[in-house]
Amino acid sequence: MTAEIKKVETATDPWSDLDRALEQTRAQFFHAFGVEPFAAFVAPADAPASPSYLRAPKIDVTDTGTAYRVVADVPGIPKEQLEIRVRGTSVEIRGEHAQESEEKKTDYVHRERTYAGFYRTLEMPEPVVATEAKAKVENGVLELELPKVTPTPASDEVKVAVA
């Protein structure tokens, strides 16, 4: 009698749904107090190292006038395992990396498995042109360029005389 083994599809990261719910709740909380939308997703400098902050990459968002530039630390995540989705003002960045190794000797078998994954959602202050978004990864750093629907002029620095 031969037993049949069925493959069962499971979620790759059991914390993804929880992280997503926490980020949405955090965004609503900060929005209620008038904080910049994408600032709600950055851990405060004095925050304890909680698991959600450890899994989420550190992100910088810059307004260049014509676009938003997002820079995220994604060390160890191959570009093929990064997924970026843009819709309106929402930007979703997801990545994962799994590695498995096995060593067999005559009297033992040694196996190692590692997994790293994250999920981040950012809300931009203005809509962006999703079809013109560009992303690249180099040396573990993701750079994402999100052109604005309505560009604003870059603010020029003005020196103000003190009376």
Residue 41 binned pLDDT confidence (cut-offs 50, 70, 90)? very low
Task: Give residue 58's region: left, alpha or beta (phi > 0; psi -120 to 50).
Answer: beta
State the average pLDDT for the chain: 76
Whether the CB-CB separation of 133 and 92 falls below 8 Å is answered with no
d(CA 11, CA 17): 10
Model confidence, pTM? 0.57
Sorted by sequence, the CB contacts under 8 Å of residue 33 that are 6+ apart come out as: none
- Where exactly are the structural domains of the chain? 16-44+57-147
Please report the pLDDT score of residue 21 as a whole number: 79
Please report the pLDDT score of residue 69 as a whole number: 94
Which CATH number describes the domain made up of 16-44+57-147?
2.60.40.790
- Per-residue pLDDT tens for 75-95? 878 889 899 999 888 899 988
Most confident of 20-24, 44-48, 106-110: 106-110
